[in-house]
Each structure stands twice: as structure tokens, then as C-alpha cells.
Structure 1
Amino acid sequence: MVSTTPPQAKTWSRRGHTPVVKVRGRSRRRLSIAALTCYKPGQRSRPIHRPRKDDGRHDGRKGFSRRDYRDLLIAAHQPLGGTIVLVRDNLNVHKAAGLREVAVSRDWLTIYSLPPYAPDLNPVEGIWSPLRSGWLSNVAFSTPEHLIQRIRQGLHRIQYRPRLIDGCLAETGLGINP
């Protein structure tokens, strides 16, 4: 495998003039990421994530389907073990009947919904800010795979900063009561 340095965009301009970086073409490709912030008393907090590239081969959706979310929850349950209490926002796929069926069929899963328009109560929202301002900033991504690689690197580094992840939960005002 050949490792290359990703292209980084750095430029300058006169004060008061915003620099413009021109790119060729327009991509219709889309990348979606589903993530969970996982908290277990007595253990290190960590994010679990799964990227999904919209390559047109799925069910025509431009994001995660309920099957994708189900698979993510099952994949999260394997290393975590025990009961999972999922606190979700009001994305329409999150409220789909298929996910309710998953919760009913799995005795280890309990789902609570956040009120509408309450991103400040969702701990995973706190993960995106350091990811965007750190590992994803100032990079011109050459391919969707390059973007996925950088996201994984950033989330991997965040995984080893449990205080950052704990701070995302503390910022919401929610707590863990075993």
C-alpha cells in the first residue's frame, strides 16, 4: 500500500478579502455517518460509528436505512454487552416502525426519544464539532474513501479521549443511573 500525504488547502489573501479555492466538477456522491456515544459505569466512554457511502447500490436512500441502524446497534451490543439504552433524536428513520420492532425483539435494547429540535440534549452532537474543526478541517478530499479514512482517524483519536466523550454527556445535563 502506498501512503501519500493528503492534499491540504492553505492559502492567503489580502486583509478583508476572502480567499476562494476553485475545484473542478461537482460530485453527487454522498457520505453518511451514524454514531453512538457509549457510556458504561466503571468503563471508558467511547464512540461507535459506521460510515455509509451512497453508491446507488442500496435501497435508493441517501442515508442510513432502518436496517443500517439495526446493524449498528447489534454491532455495538457485541463488544458492550449488557443492556443498551438508546437515546435518539427525531430523525424520521430513527422513528421508523422497523426500529421499534428491533427494540421489541431485543430484550437488551430500550429506546427513548428526545423532544423535537433538541440537539443540545444529544451527546453524540458534541463529537462532530472537534471532528470538523480538527481532523476534517483544511483538507481537500480526493475521494470518498479519503474522507472516510480521515473520519475514522479522527474518531479513533477521540475514542482515546474519554474526558471529551464524558464532557459531551455532561453538557447535555443527562446522567447515567445504573
Structure 2
Amino acid sequence: MRYAQGDGLTDAGRAARERVRQQAVERFQAGQKNAEVADALRVSERSVERWRRAWREQGEAGVPSKGSPGRLRLGDGQIARLARELERGPLAHGLVDQRWTLARIKTLIGRLIHVSYTVEGTWRLLRRHGWSWQQPARRAIGRNNSAVEVWKKETWPRVRASRRSAGPGSSSRTKPGSR
């Protein structure tokens, strides 16, 4: 059985997973066959074979999970450093606008911490640590809010009033009642 390493598993879930492995060791010591252990613990025979091999070679110390070799985790200090750098903003890191994209954050992690993440892995890392995606409000940098308000009050009513109002039959090609 393949377990997710950290994705959706709580500490209690990881502890339960390790208890299953420990139960397998107890069954190995009792002389049960791989198929029996797999059925009893509801795991694949292949996993039981791997655990039994590790148990024979290294004893009980070889059976616990060593975690996923593919996932690089950042320590608390590294996460705190990343958060500080993200708070500084993209401009502080030589980017031309104020948008953090996953690709940019991935590059930042590589530059600061020398750890390589995929874009998807970057998203999972951020989500795990409380960051969420945000969509920037599209506003011009040179926007003058007071001028916009004046335009809405003075110009817009004139523009809207100059449109021809639609009366009955104004867009119809047939005469009323000639259906």
C-alpha cells in the first residue's frame, strides 16, 4: 500500500501508519506468511514483502517509514525566511511588477534556500503553511480616484441619457400583432 507522505495525513494518521508496520513485525515474529499478514492488515503483499526484507536485514529499526525520498521539506527557519521575503514583495527581488506567481516563488525558493520544487510542489508548500492564491484587482497605477468619481457623477449620466430609449417595436421588423 502506498501512503501519502504528509499530503492530507495528520500526525495521528502517520502514527496509525507506523502502527500497521509494527503489527506486521509482530506477525513476522509469529511466523505468519506474507499473504496472511497482507490480508489481516489490509495492505498489499508487495508492501509486506518489502517490510519483511527490511526486518530480516535491519531488524525492527528497518521497518518504520523513512518518508518520501522525492519531497524536500523546508525547516521552520527556512519557511519563516521565505515568508519574510514574500512579504517584501516582488519588486524587492528585481521583478517588474507586484505579482507573485508560483513560478516566481519557485525560483525564489531556489535562489534563497537552494532547494528545487516543482510549480505544483510550490503550491502545496504554500497551502500547507497558510498561504492562499489571490487575484490582484486590475487597477491602473496612475489611477486618480477623485477624477473617476467626478466622471461617474457628471459625465456618465450624460452618456447614458444620450442613448435612444427602446420603445415597443423599436427593434422589431414586424408590425405589432402580425404574428
Q: TM class by shorter-chain length?
A: under 0.3
Using CA pairs under 8 Å that are at least 6 residues apart, name the structure with larger relative contact order, 1 or 2. 1
TM-score, normalised via structure 1 length: 0.23
**Larger strand proportion of the pair:** 1
**Larger helix proportion of the pair:** 2
TM-score, normalised via structure 2 length: 0.23
